[in-house]
Amino acid sequence: MSEASPELPPTEDRRTTDADGHDCIDPLGVAIVTVSSSRGAAVENDPSDPSGDAIASILVKAGHVVTARRMVPDDYFRIQTTVSECLDQEDVDIVVTTGGTGVTVDDVTPDAVSELFDRELPGFGEAFRWLSWEEVRTRIVSTRATAGIARDVPVFVLPGSVNAVELSTAEIISEEAPHLAGLATRHIAGEADE
């Protein structure tokens, strides 16, 4: 496991409750994984990653810390391995992937990542498609955006378009991820208190 980011205090120092008394982790340590065959050979933090940059920008503006950025090609095992490595980092509270959620044969991100889920969060995909209706209308049926909890970490699987990433990150992830991360790890916090 990697060391915690120097910018990010230990999880126990970031665990809190929101105005309604719900468990939260804030700020979050965020891992961003960009899936793209055209950019998959690029190095980490490649400036030609507009969707990954959009996710980072929105979440940093919300007060969170990007602790990992990775880029991989549309390859089932590389995607799964990369997300798994992010889940093992101590300074990662959520993982957000972008790309590979369509219906072509090489769009395998939801398949690769959902294999890691302990619990699925179907409401994320439903909410994303509902919010996308105004912009893309019936084309929402072609996205397989999904989310789940893997090893006590919320994981969000987003399309590759910048508009889709901005919508889902600003309207759903930045709002709900601190609460989801708090709930997903509440059992661990309870053990630490004993």
User: For 95, left (φ over 0), alpha (ψ -120 to 50), or beta?
Assistant: beta
pLDDT at 96: 98
pLDDT at 45: 47
> What structural domains and CATH numbers belong to the chain?
24-193 (3.40.980.10)
Provide the pairing of β-strand 153-158 with 146-150: antiparallel
pLDDT tens, per residue, the chain with 194 residues: 344 455 788 888 999 988 888 899 999 999 999 998 765 444 444 458 999 999 999 999 999 999 999 999 999 999 999 999 999 999 999 999 999 998 899 999 999 999 999 999 999 999 999 999 888 788 778 789 999 999 999 999 999 999 999 999 999 999 999 999 999 998 887 655 44
pTM (2 decimals)?
0.90
- Residue of 165, 190, 191, 135 lying closest to 59 (CA atoms): 165
